[in-house]
Amino acid sequence: MEKSAFDLMVGHSLRAPLGIRLPRIVRAVAAEVQQNAPRSLRPDRFFELANGEYAHFEFQTNGATRADMDRFLEYDGLMWRRVHRRIHTVVFYAGRPVRTAPGGAAAGSITYRVTNVFLNRMDGEAVLAGLEAKVRARRALAAGDHLRLALCMLMRHERGALLGAARRAAVLLRSVADARAREVCGWAAYGAAAEVGASRRVLDELSELMEMAGMTRLRDHLIATGEAKGREEGREEGREEGREDGRAEGRAESLLIVLRARHGRAAEPLAPRIRGERRTPVLDRWLELAAEAPTLEAFVRAMEADAAPQGH
């Protein structure tokens, strides 16, 4: 990930959102251990804690092996030589279900211990529903909520539900008031989806929805890395109509998520009309109206006024 969900951890405790019992994180520490180490040594994140100790976070999409423990221990050894402070190592598991994971390693007189956090055992649907309920109640999303949102794609979802989860996460990004937190949340959600093997459709739609939430830098990055280029070439090869239908479907479902989050079941009668609209510019405008209208009635009036002169 270009930016990680871990970046959101700076400045607050992890006890509430993840149950990790560590002092508050005060700053991210560049992994200088890479500079004079073999290329294979690439630790994920180091942080300085409020008590002067350090945290080392590793991200695993598969189960860890003895070789992984050796690698993590080597990272910590190199960092120890720099700071001579106690280091707490936490391994996050996401993607495929991991039933068990090593808690460390015994290396002669050295006893190495890590803390395992099984994100893939956490209910991603419940996390999203809780955040949506908070937004519906017009309560501000706090730092712990930002972290849950950033990590929700790494949590457990029912088979085939990742696309819906991506749509809901992208919509919730609109409720993150702080621009920097919104940016990191979005990067983390996109990177997390890629890490757990999300389909190209999921990634395409997530990136487009995040652009609608104001995250234009993501598109710049995708273009720079060539990921967006393939989509543009696909359009030139005559697949525009099918892609447009897919985009319209995604916009419609995202709009319904916003309306349900804000107005509950009262929004359901609008579902057939919204799903029947195939013009993405119209759906984009309706999505903006849905986020801004103070009441459902106000949204319907604005939607009628917007659609009336356009016809079908």
Q: Which pLDDT band holds residue 194 (cuts at 50, 70, 90)? A: confident
Cα dist from 69 to 18, 43, 77, 80, 106, whole Å? 22, 12, 12, 16, 10
**Can you tell me whether residue 58 is helix, strand or coil?**
strand
Q: Answer yes or no: are the C-beta atoms of 64 and 102 closer than 8 Å.
A: yes
23 secondary structure, DSSP code: P
Q: pLDDT-based confidence at 33, cuts 50/70/90? A: low
Q: What residue has token string 């019992």?
A: 21
Q: What are the residue ranges spanned by the domains of the chain?
A: 5-120, 124-307
DSSP 95-148: SS--S----EEEETTEEEE-EEEEGGGSBHHHHHHHHHHHHHTTPPP-HHHHHH
Sign (positive or negative) of CA dihedral 290, 293, 294, 299: negative
Give the Å distances, CA to CA, from 310 to 175, 234, 267, 303.
Answer: 30, 29, 23, 11
pLDDT digits (tens, 9 = 90+) for 81-133: 889 999 999 998 886 677 788 999 887 888 899 999 888 888 999 999 999 99
With pLDDT > 90 as the criterion, what percentage of the chain qualifies?
A: 13
pLDDT at site 227: 43
Q: Answer positive or negative: Cα dihedral of 190, 2, 288, 266.
A: positive
Can you read off the two tokens belonging to residue 163?
């696309």
Name every residue whose Cβ is closer than 8 Å to that of residue 308 and which is 6 or more positions away in sequence.
Answer: none
Tokens linked to 307: 């659609």
pLDDT of 59 over the 50 cut: yes
Average pLDDT, the chain: 77
> What are the beta bridge partners of residue 116?
91
> What is the torsional sign of CA 118, 148, 26, 82?
positive
Residue 230 or residue 252, greater confidence? 252
**Which residues partner with 28 through β-bridges?**
47
Backbone dihedral angles phi then psi of residue 301, each to the nearest 5 degrees: -60, -45
What 3-state class would DSSP assign to 273? helix
What is the average pLDDT across 283-305? 83
Instruction: Rank 4-8, 48-52, 163-167, 183-187 by mean pLDDT and report only the highest.
Output: 48-52
Distance CA 226, CA 271 (A): 36
> What does pTM read for this prediction?
0.63
Question: Which of 198, 290, 209, 219 is closest to 249 using CA atoms?
Answer: 209
